[in-house]
Amino acid sequence: MRATLTLGRLAGVRVGVHWSVLVIVLLLTAGLAGRFPEVYPGRPAWAYWAVGVAAALTFMVSLLAHEISHALVARRNGVQADEITLWLLGGVARLRSEAPSPGAELRIAGVGPLVSLLAAVAFGLAAGVTAAADGSELVVEALAWLSGINLLLAVFNSLPAAPLDGGRLLRAVVWRVTGSPLRATAVATAAGRVLGWLLVAVGLFLAFGGAVLSGFWLAIIGLFLIAAATAEGGQARLREVLSGVAVRQAMTPDPTVVPESLSVGEFLADPRYRYRHSAFPVVDEEGRPAGLVTVRDAAAVPDDAARDTSLGSVMIPVERIPTPAPDDALAGLLPALEESPAHRALVLEEGRPVGIVTTSDISRITSWLTSMGSWGNRSR
């Protein structure tokens, strides 16, 4: 899930929102603005909508707090986390690698529901204090709603099924007991698919029973859980296939580098660059990596500006590209490679580019390893 709009950084973590967040904010606002008159009639319509908007946006802030807690605890446990995206069904903290131990997995997963639970308590106390001080009844109702929805978020996320936080907790426990992170992932993802199908069944039952909107949302969440759990299981099997494979075994070695000062026009006119590969490492005057430029991005520059535009202006900065060493584990590169804007990694050795790894390279070596395994099984 890629962000449509980047809001900035919070505690060093880039925060973005997907356009679908607008949908959930509008739905929550409309739902609250329709509910308030039933509980406290006689207020102006604008008051119901104003409090509804404020409550919906505050909920998104509490959801952000849930996700930022994952990112911060992940960093403290040696897992790189540099982006959070809020979207229709919640939020996603992008972790660049796997937790190094069951204990780290437990801490990273457990902090999210804990933060939501603390938010529920805080909003509940605020509602009580506001009511005791004879504050606005609409504000009390909104605070009580925020308390309840954060409690629901904490409970739902604690269900032992991937990709929910509870699925991570289940994975940590099974990993600790069995010593196998792959088996732990298999158990958590299987639980995720079971929960997903259960939600779909309940959703359809509610929809046919007349609660169309509630049933629809439950079914959508269930389908999301099924898809996410299936994808996570596939990634676990891929990591098993690539176990023991180094980055150098998949990379394209000795890539042709281009200077950062080279103009886009010169780059596109030179056959060495235009026809050999689709992306090239960009280096500064001292030969240090500065980024990666794709032929597609360069070709998007208008012809009348190509000769005055340097590659440094259109390249993807090296900070946004995975930069493994040749002897790093290829399996550990997978999460970062998926999140890379160019879906490529720049392999560095002693600060110099020595190779490029693409998702196609990984697919190629995976197919080869899988076929060799199948051939070995048939031979036996």
The rounded percent of the chain whose pLDDT value lies above 90 is: 55
Give tens-digit pLDDT for 95-136: 767 788 999 999 999 999 999 999 999 999 999 999 999 888
Radius of gyration over every alpha carbon of the chain, rounded to an integer in angstroms = 25
Residue 373's pLDDT is: 58
Q: What is the pTM of this model?
A: 0.77
Band (271; pLDDT cuts 50, 70, 90): confident
Residue among 67, 98, 141, 260 flagged as catalytic: 67
Residue 375's pLDDT is: 43
Rounded CA separation 343/360 (Å): 9
Residue 139's pLDDT is: 93
For residue 375 the two structure tokens come to 């051939």
What mean pLDDT, rounded, does the chain reach? 88
Band (379; pLDDT cuts 50, 70, 90): very low
Cα-based distances in Å from 222 to 26, 34, 49, 226, 355:
22, 26, 30, 6, 41
Contact (Cβ atoms closer than 8 angstroms) between residue 97 and residue 77: no
Q: In terms of C-beta density within 10 A (0-12 exposed, 13-18 middle, 19 or more buried), how is residue 377 classed?
A: exposed
Give tens-digit pLDDT for 165-205: 999 999 999 999 999 888 899 999 999 999 999 999 999 99
How many residues comprise the chain? 380
State the DSSP string of 276-304.
T-SEEEEE-TTS-EEEEEEHHHHHTS-HH
State the DSSP string of 364-378.
HHHHHHHHHHHHHHH
Q: Is 67 a catalytic residue?
A: yes
